[in-house]
């Protein structure tokens, strides 16, 4: 139990430091926009549907990838309900956005963003991971709604789901 408290305390320290360093009005506004875009994986799903509309020869692949993003999000929700880790709550951390639940681990935004980045990278031929994943992970910390391990675990889960599905899409194509 002491180790768990020490880990949580260290994570609160990192979270507080991120907020002290990055929490500026413009950063918070961008982070809130990202939060809205990523809520329930809706923005990433819409991006996949748009890809399907534009890239007609690979329409089915785009739709499978978009469904995979939603599936990754669903997997994160399932893990949240098993783990039941509460969101950060400490006087040194300011919560700057509303959340649909009080559960924190893993970050569903990190999960769906990473799955989208991996899947859509395969379809666009561009590595989208460095451009999409770190900003979303940082935004969850700036907004004070996740511990660092929440976003890292979400990214790992999204990477696994996205990677497995991407391999399946490219194997058949």
- Name the average pLDDT for the chain: 93
Q: Name the residue ranges covered by the structural domains of the chain.
A: 26-172
Q: Say if residue 39's pLDDT is above 70.
A: yes
**Residue in this structure with the two tokens 């696994």, named with its chain if needed:** 160
**SS3 for 90?**
coil
Instruction: For residues 106 and 116, give the distance between their C-alpha atoms in angstroms, rounded to a whole number.
Output: 16
User: What is the Cα Rg of the chain in Å?
Assistant: 16
Which pLDDT tens digit goes with each residue over 21-37? 999 999 999 999 999 99
Which pLDDT tens digit goes with each residue over 43-83? 999 999 999 999 999 999 999 999 999 999 999 999 999 99
**Phi and psi dihedrals of 92, rounded to 5?**
-85, -5
The whole-number pLDDT of residue 173 equals 53
Which pLDDT tens digit goes with each residue over 74-90? 999 999 999 999 999 99
The whole-number pLDDT of residue 121 equals 96
Instruction: For residues 89 and 134, give the distance between their C-alpha atoms in angstroms, rounded to a whole number.
Output: 23
The whole-number pLDDT of residue 5 equals 60
The whole-number pLDDT of residue 171 equals 76
In this prediction, residues 93-115 reach a mean pLDDT of 95
- The token pair at 113 is 């963003």
């Amino acid at each position: 139990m002491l180790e768990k408290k020490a880990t949580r305390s260290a994570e609160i320290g990192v979270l507080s430091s991120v907020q002290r360093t990055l929490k500026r009005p413009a950063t918070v506004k961008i982070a809130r926009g990202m939060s809205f875009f990523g809520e329930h994986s809706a923005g990433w799903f819409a991006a996949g549907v748009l890809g399907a509309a534009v890239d007609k020869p690979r329409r089915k692949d785009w739709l499978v990838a978009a469904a995979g993003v939603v599936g990754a999000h669903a997997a994160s929700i399932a893990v949240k309900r098993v783990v039941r880790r509460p969101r950060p709550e400490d006087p040194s951390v300011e919560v700057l956005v509303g959340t649909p639940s009080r559960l924190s681990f893993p970050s569903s935004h990190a999960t769906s963003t990473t799955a989208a980045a991996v899947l859509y990278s395969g379809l666009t031929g561009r590595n989208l991971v460095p451009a999409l994943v770190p900003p979303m992970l940082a935004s969850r910390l700036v907004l004070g709604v996740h511990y660092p391990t929440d976003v890292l675990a979400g990214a790992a889960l999204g990477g696994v789901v996205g990677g497995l599905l991407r391999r399946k899409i490219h194997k058949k194509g």
